[in-house]
Amino acid sequence: MEKEVNVKVSAATGELKIFEEVRTGQLPAIKELITLIVLGNIMAPVQYLGHMDAIKEAERDTCTPIIEGFEYPDCIDRSLTHALVNLKTQKIRLFVNKNKEYNQGYQAIVSGQLMLSGDLDRFDINEEAEMSPRKMADKLKRLKIFFKDPNENREIVNALMNLVGKTSKDFTRAEDNRGTLKTSIDKKVTTNLPETFTLCLPLFEGFAPMTFQVEIGVDDRDGGLSVWLESTELFSLLIELRDSVIHAEVEKLEKAGILVIIENPDSKG
Please determine, for residue 40, whether its predicted confidence score (pLDDT) is greater than 90.
yes
CB-based contacts of 198-202 (< 8 A; 24+ apart in sequence): 198/147, 198/148, 198/149, 198/152, 199/123, 199/146, 199/147, 199/148, 200/146, 200/147, 200/148, 201/117, 201/119, 201/120, 201/146, 202/117, 202/119, 202/120
Spatial CA neighbour of 83 closest among 53, 43, 35, 33 = 43
Sketch the domain layout of the chain as residue ranges. 34-115+244-262, 127-173+185-230
Average pLDDT of 102-111? Answer: 75
pLDDT-derived band at 27, boundaries 50, 70, 90: low
Residues 88-106 as b/e (b if ≥16 CB within 10 A, e otherwise) read: eebbbbbbbbeebeeeebe
Between 90 and 162, where is the model more confident? Answer: 90
Give pLDDT tens digits for 221-269.
Answer: 776 788 899 999 999 999 999 999 999 999 999 999 999 999 876 655 5
CA 131, CA 104: separation in Å to the nearest integer?
A: 60
Overall average pLDDT of the 66-90 stretch: 75
Sign of the torsion formed by the C-alpha atoms of 43, 48, 54 and 56: negative
Percentage of residues of the chain with pLDDT beyond 70: 67
Q: What's the CA angle centered on 50, arms 45 and 52, to 5 degrees? A: 95
- Looking at residues 45-70, what average pLDDT do you find? 71
**Is residue 21 pLDDT above 70, yes or no?**
no
C-alpha count within 13 angstroms, C-beta hemisphere, residue 69: 0
Percent of the chain with pLDDT over 90: 48
Higher-scoring residue by pLDDT: 129, 68: 129
Q: Rounded distance, CA 253 to CA 259, Å? A: 8
- The answer to whether 128 and 111 have CB atoms below 8 angstroms apart is no
Residues 6+ apart with CB under 8 A from 20: 5, 6
Query: Is the Cβ–Cβ distance between 50 and 110 less than 8 Å?
Result: no
